[in-house]
Amino acid sequence: MSFFKTPGVGSRLFQASAAVFATTLLASGAFAQAAPPLTAPGGDARSTENYWTADRIRNAKPIELVPAPGHRLQPIDSTAAAAGPSQTGAGAPPTTEDSSAIARRLHPPMPLTGAAPDDAGTSRNTSSYGAHFTTSRVFPDAATTTYPYVTTGRLAFRNPRTGRDSVCSASVLRPRVLVTAGHCVYHAGPTSDDPSTNKYFYSNWVFVPAYNNGAAPKGTWTPAWVIVSGFWSAGNGSVPNQQDVAMMEMRDNTAGQKISAFTGYLGYSTGGLSPNHLTIIGYPCNLDNCAKMQNTTAESFANGGSNTVTYGSAQRGGTSGGPWIQDFGVAGAGSPAGTARNWLKSVSSYGPVATEPKYLGGSILMSSGTSSFIDLLNKACAHRAGNC
């Protein structure tokens, strides 16, 4: 998760002038020219599996990025619409419930401890300036292995230049296709780990769907191929970013089964990130040491600029790349049409370094143009027969 100090919050949040709006807001059709998406092989599966020892899995840390100069949140009614008409795709539940043959224990469970909650005086589970939300651990543990929660997991990777192990979140979007944040795939500019402007792909990615404090109930999976939006790769590593998105083609297991057989996959819907009400899932390291899946429900709060929207959340570093899902869940009998579509609307991209205010920002998924979400998805689907 890219976290940074955000100036201009508090009572001044909505007191921006028209001049400030002009410099921070990208109106529909005013997107910067995008570089083509970049691709890379996913690396050797066996060496990746061998690399991730118990200590490395347990101790991987989130990434911190560099903010764009003068970043400020803006009123939600000025949020730019995503370029191009909305495009949607349906999701699907798992096709097999038996995962006993691939379940693994990656490391012994960690003790999960934290400060006792302080309920005196003020609500702690909301932003300091009104971005109301609810964040909690996904409970009981068995819920994490049921659809649609099971589509989400912990993504670990290595920086080949510094040797640091990092952690993000990701989700299964198509039968073989994973979606995450661009900054969980590619070093585009200065980070807390590597302050250089060198541009390169990370390595040794491993995805653990429904990861639960050392347990991998749906196995571990490695990518054969990755693709990252040119908006991110050419964006110098600063956030907010117009399309902080990347995708991975996941290898089948040794029995020739796709990851979606065990996890199912989400639907997707471009545009329409505000106004909206979404479920945000991830593995933030400020909660349960990124060892347990967390869940936020919230409505859109503010325009983050550069084709992004913010939602209130207590999730912080480690939740990067985790899905923002519209109409989340399983429809009850008699539900209105359209219930439980489980549409991906964005992925976690950025947030503040300070513990207040509490929010996450994500890119509006674009449906047209070079390096848009749909451009990446089309390329991922076409890369190998059966990906989508």
CA distances from residue 21 to 11, 26, 71, 78, 171 in whole angstroms, order as listed:
17, 9, 11, 9, 33
In this prediction, residue 112 has a pLDDT band, given cuts at 50, 70 and 90, of confident
Instruction: Please compute the mean of the pLDDT values over residues 147-172 and round it to a whole number.
Output: 97
> What pLDDT is stored for residue 17 in this prediction?
23
Calculate what percentage of the chain has a pLDDT beyond 90.
70
Higher-scoring residue by pLDDT: 94, 78: 94
Q: Is pLDDT above 50 for 4?
A: no
Number of H helices, E strands in the chain: 6, 25
**Dist. CA 57–CA 291, nearest whole Å:** 10
Range with the lowest mean pLDDT among 75-79, 145-149, 334-338, 380-384? 75-79
Q: What is the pLDDT of residues 23-37, one digit of tens each?
A: 222 323 345 568 999
Q: What is the pLDDT of residue 128?
A: 65
| Closest among 177, 365, 384, 382 to 263, alpha carbons compared | 177
Which pLDDT score, from 0 to 100, does residue 76 have?
65
Residue reference for tokens 């250089």 = 196
Q: What is the mean pLDDT of the chain?
A: 86
pLDDT of residue 6: 40
Q: Which pLDDT score, from 0 to 100, does residue 13 have?
A: 25
Which among 356, 357, 279 has a CA at the least distance from the CA of 319?
279
The pLDDT score that the predictor gives to residue 364 is 96
Report in angstroms the alpha-carbon separations of 322 from 11, 57, 293: 30, 18, 10
User: What is the predicted pLDDT for the residue at 340?
Assistant: 84
Q: Which residue has the higher pLDDT, 13 or 90?
A: 90
pLDDT at residue 18 is higher than 50: no
Q: How far is CA 14 from CA 9, 125, 370, in A?
A: 9, 22, 33
Structure tokens at 92: 């699907």
Whole-number Å distance between alpha carbons of 61 and 225: 23
Measuring CA to CA, which residue among 380, 323, 96 is closest to residue 218? 96
Which range in 82-86, 159-163, 330-334 is most confidently predicted, on average pLDDT?
159-163
State residue 28's pLDDT score. 32
pLDDT of the residue at 205:
98
Residue 154's pLDDT is what?
98
Among the residue ranges 16-25, 56-65, 247-256, the one predicted with the least confidence is: 16-25
The model's pLDDT over 113-143, given as tens digits with 9 standing for 90+, comes to: 665 455 444 455 677 668 889 999 999 999 9
Residue 22 pLDDT > 60, yes or no? Answer: no
CA distance 96 to 199: 40
Q: Do 314 and 132 contact (CB within 8 A), yes or no?
A: no
Share of the chain above pLDDT 70, in %: 82
pLDDT, residue 123, reads 52
- Is residue 69 predicted with pLDDT exceeding 80? no
pLDDT band at 336 (very low <50, low <70, confident <90, very high): confident
